[in-house]
Amino acid sequence: MSLKDALLKAGLHSSKIENERQKKLKKEKTKIEKHQEHRNFCEVCETTQPDVERFKHRNPRIDAEWICTNCADKNQILDQFRLTNQSDSARSKRYRRFYGPTKDFSKEAPVESKSFSKPGAKVKTESEKREERKKRYILDEDGEKNFNC
């Protein structure tokens, strides 16, 4: 029997309770992890990196599309083959390449969808398309919705 156990058995207790932990409530998660919203796994080095982008390249040595900045620089893949602008540094305009020039996505015009309508037909705007989608019923004289349009 140890001296501490003997004193506790005799009824002597210390004023400090060092070994007892206070029961703390678990702190609620307040931090939002931004890096988990986007893809961050490099298929070349097979690690999680902050600057992973999708490349459509012609390098026969690499059979990967999602490549980090370091691997793209090491394997001499030009930034003109980059398709996405999804990493945090790319969105905040801090994405920088050391091999060749860095592609600027702000200069590119937004991609318009190809329409298969007749030439000379009126092109609908997004707001017109939204309104057309909303109208899925007709109101009767009674105020009831008729979905048989």
List the beta bridge partners of residue 138: 146
> Quick one: pLDDT band at residue 113, thresholds 50, 70, 90?
very low
> Quick one: pLDDT band at residue 44, thresholds 50, 70, 90?
very high
Question: Mean pLDDT score of the chain, rounded to an integer?
Answer: 78
**To 10 degrees, the CA torsion angle through 122, 125, 127, 132?**
40
> Quick one: pLDDT band at residue 69, thresholds 50, 70, 90?
very high
Query: Which conformational region is residue 120 in: left (phi greater than 0), alpha (psi within -120 to 50 degrees), or beta?
Result: left
CA-wise closest residue to 69 among 116, 61, 58, 85: 85
> Where are the domains positioned within the chain?
34-96
Whole-model pTM: value is 0.49
